[in-house]
């Protein structure tokens, strides 16, 4: 399957976090990978900024990615991160190729 949509969540922690924080993010990623249409999820910690984590999802369709944003599991992650006092930056990407069908996310 081809990746047709990507979402990223930059997570900047204000205070030092323990290993439980990383384990929690990886557990969310593993849960999200089970969603129909999810091709994979990754959790990476920046080597340049130790307080920055990148949480990314790769999707077979923009519509599936968009539905994921409204899911209970995504809301649980966001609530968990807000309770952890982090700064969040969210982005999503879908290709726009002339003459090709697009999945409807704009």
For tokens 């990615």, the residue is 65
- Given strand 38-45, what is the order of strands in its sheet? 38-45, 52-59, 5-13, 86-93
Question: What's the pLDDT at 19?
Answer: 81
Just give the CATH number of 5-93. Answer: 3.30.70.100
Question: What's the pLDDT at 94?
Answer: 85
DSSP state of 44: E
- Find the distance separating the first CA and the last CA of the chain, reported in whole Å: 21
Report domain extents, the chain.
5-93
Is this prediction's pTM over 0.85?
Answer: no
pLDDT digits (tens, 9 = 90+) for 35-94: 999 999 999 999 999 899 999 999 999 999 999 999 999 999 999 999 888 899 999 988
Closest residue by Cα to residue 59 from 69, 45, 46, 49 = 69
| Antiparallel, parallel or unpaired: β 86-93 and 38-45 | unpaired
């Amino acid at each position: 399957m081809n990746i047709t949509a990507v979402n990223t969540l930059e997570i900047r922690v204000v205070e030092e976090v323990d290993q439980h924080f990383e384990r929690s993010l990886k557990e969310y990623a593993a849960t999200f990978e089970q969603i129909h249409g999810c091709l994979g999820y990754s959790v990476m910690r920046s080597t340049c900024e130790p307080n920055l984590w990148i949480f990314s999802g790769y999707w077979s369709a923009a519509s599936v990615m968009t539905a994921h944003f409204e899911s209970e599991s995504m809301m649980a992650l966001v609530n968990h991160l807000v309770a952890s006092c982090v700064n969040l930056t969210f982005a999503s990407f879908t290709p726009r190729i002339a003459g090709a069908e697009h999945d409807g996310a704009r």
